[in-house]
A and B are shown apart, each in its own frame.
Chain A
Amino acid sequence: MAKKRPIALLSELASHKETFGGDMPLAPGHRMCIGCGIPPIVNEIILAINEPVIVSNATGCLEVTTGVYPVTAWNVPWIHVNFQSAATVIAGVETAYKVLKKKGVIPENKRIHFIAFGGDGGTYDIGFQALSATAERGHNVLYVCYNNEGYQNTGYQKSSATPIGAYTKTTPVGKAKVGKQEPRKDLTMIMAAHGIPYVAQASPHIFRDLTRKTKKAVSIEGFKFLNVLEPCTLSWRFSPEDTMRLAKLAVETRYWPVYEVIDGKYWKVNIKPKKPKPIEEYIAAQPRWKHVLKYPEVLERIQKEIDEKWNLLLHLEEMSKKLAEEEGVDYEELFKVPED
């Protein structure tokens, strides 16, 4: 029989305080997988902001691994309510800040930044309504989707961010169907269509770009949305040391374009691989997906989606430049980050 483990009483815990990794917003000691892409994304983003932040978190990998009672990995104020409400919860916090500042409860010069983190399940699917509504109301919030293209915390089911042909537990590969049938929902485009001041796609392997985008986002008043690809070692089934290599391949194959959009109308593609790598190279690195290499018709659909989207983005960029010129707006100036 297993030996009974003594558990501290709540009263003992309440008198006990021990911290380590105090310099990081998200401290070490959390329970995320070795090789997980989420911690670098979170720390990169919060460290890019030089003022206090408050974080709201949707239920998911990040949430269940970082605040496990009675310990927490968060060195910033953090709140989790449920799966679908991260955007509107932080809107509530931000509104409280706004009104209490107006009432003089919070000093006039105290600036706080409000960030929500959600996975693609909590952002593309179940949290979409609250996300869209919070964006429409224009709360001063930065929403970050760490997008690992499926419900990884529940053991990998398909989300609307899962690509064509990918295996998930709810889209298995069988005789009648080869993985997921539908293309990814383009949430970044949808968020841009909200006309919010700033929308961007980023990849964790380009730290400078992610830092710059975060700084840019928080320099603007209003609702901002960042969609960051987060290769998942566990469900995509690559080796833990390859996370950033996968992210790099996603960008080099144009599978995950890195771009930004101002006010839903000025588009800029930040990275343009001159010689894009074949998508097969990216797919082959992921056991969740590599079976599609045996199905040319599926591969063709994947390539078509990538090419069409890439082409559209380049056209949107060209259109933006012309639009800016017509309006007498300095296109390059739009994307500059103000000095801290």
Chain B
Amino acid sequence: MAQTKVIALTGNQAAAEAMRQINFDVAAVYPISPQTELMGFFAEYVANGEVDTEMIAVDGEHSAMATCIGAAAAGARTITASAGPGIAYMVENLYVASGMRVPMVLLDVNRALSAPLSIHCDHADSMLTRDTGWISIFSENAQEAYHNIIMSVKISEKAMFPIIVNYDGYIVSHSIEDVEILDDETVRDFVGPSDIHRIPYPLLDTDKPVTYGATAQPDYYTECKYQQHVDFLKVYDVVREVFDEFAQIIGKRYDFIEEYKTEDAEYIGISMGSSFGTLKDAVDRLREQGKKVGAIKIRLYRPFPVKEIAQALSKAKGVVVLDRADSFDGIGGPLFKDIASALLATENNPFVHNFIYGLGGREIHEEEFMRAFDRLERLEKGIETRENFVEYLQVRE
């Protein structure tokens, strides 16, 4: 296990520290709250010569992603960061990046989408990225954000897919907590040195000219997408390998999902990001009342851990999926649909209910999650009925 030191840092400071240690080659960024502060911290490292990184302050997030694609295809280790509307603006290019198989890191400091404008946290921005072919990982706190960023470089380069590391805006990005920081050498050894030949076809190898981003007619488009499809399924193994390797350093193994008191649980709540602590508190309080409840946190969001979820829910009577974004589709939140799909692989067929919570930075309290469990149990037992799969957990009607 590597040496660590504990420092009080905000999520953004911890992310900037990871970026400094990794010493990315290129960072193309555009300001947007709550990501701005992160890039401000990192710009200080650049200005003081503490990193070799060339930081490009571009004209918008669309250009940020396009610039990163150029840099990453060239062979540089590349990163950008954004939030909310900024993520929405770069979506076109997210598909280009994954389709061209360029490794890079995108930090999504999760923020709501307009309208109404809100700079605060929810997961609507990240849900725009769920079908883009990017690997996506969620972080519960600053510590996880820090670890995820370090691991993401390796995951992305091994899988040859770009990766998103999510952490909640303000709740994680601006809250101070103790973070165990690895020493610089450990991080740099883990990610390895810069080299254009980390990737098979670097654009900067002018002796071997390659064509990036060709057009494909109906005779080949499907085959190109099928290759992407097949390779994306291999990401599970890559993530597992990197999690294993990182466990050697930090002495703790991350998994695709994190389970809390699910062993004998009849009712299980599922969330992502910073609310998991609150969910665990709700579980503890319900356990005190004699309720057999548990909780699951999704860490690897894309590709979705179908098997692990199915396994974890294989004994549950009921599941309540807690979505920090609405889909407005008459079905339910994005995570609800993912979980419902994963349950097709189970035989116990648990009852599933969906709550939308925490939109636009709305604080979440354990009593509210307890209410969600309560509603789930009553629905499952037939004491109450529902008109829809999805309901809002916190709303003044």
Contact = CB atoms under 8 A, between A and B. Distances in A.
B53 interface: yes
A84 B62 contact: yes
Interface stretch (B63-71, B160-168, B265-273, B294-302): B63-71
Contact of B56 (A90, A91, A129): A91
A77 B203 CA distance: 6
A81 B213 contact: yes
B195 A82 contact: no
A9 B209 CA distance: 23
B245 interface: no
A10 B74 contact: no
Given A54-B206, A103-B52, A81 B96 contact: yes
B66 A88 contact: yes
B178 interface: no
A314 B196 CA distance: 49
B68 A92 contact: yes
Interface string A59-73: 000011001111010
Interface in A86-102: 88-93, 95-100, 102
Contacts of B385: none
A132 to B, nearest CB: 7
A52 interface: yes
A34 interface: no
Chain A interface extent, by class: 35 or more
- Across the A-B interface, give the 5 residue pairs with the lowest CB-CB distance, nearest first: A92-B70, A133-B59, A85-B66, A96-B76, A96-B74
Which has the most chain B C-beta neighbours within 10 Å: A88, A103, A130?
A: A88
Interface in A254-303: none
Contacts of B224: 69
Contact of A79 (B56, B68, B73): B73
B82 to A, nearest CB: 15
Nearest to A111: B206
Given A68-B217, A69-B214, A100-B196, 15 more contacts: A53-B206, A64-B215, A67-B213, A69-B224, A74-B209, A74-B211, A81-B100, A88-B63, A92-B26, A92-B69, A96-B72, A97-B74, A98-B54, A132-B59, A133-B63
B214 A106 contact: no
B127 interface: no
Interface string A128-144: 01101100010000000
A118 to B, nearest CB: 13
29 contacts: A7-B219, A52-B206, A64-B215, A68-B216, A68-B217, A69-B224, A74-B209, A74-B211, A76-B209, A78-B211, A79-B212, A79-B213, A81-B66, A81-B70, A82-B66, A85-B93, A88-B63, A90-B70, A92-B28, A93-B70, A95-B54, A95-B56, A95-B67, A95-B71, A96-B74, A97-B204, A99-B25, A100-B204, A102-B52
B223 interface: yes
Interface string B79-100: 0000000000000110010001
Contacts of A309: none
A219 interface: no
A54 B203 CA distance: 8
Contacts of A77: 203-206, 209-210, 212
Given A54-B206, A69-B214, A133-B58, A96 B66 contact: no
B60 interface: yes
A79 B196 contact: no
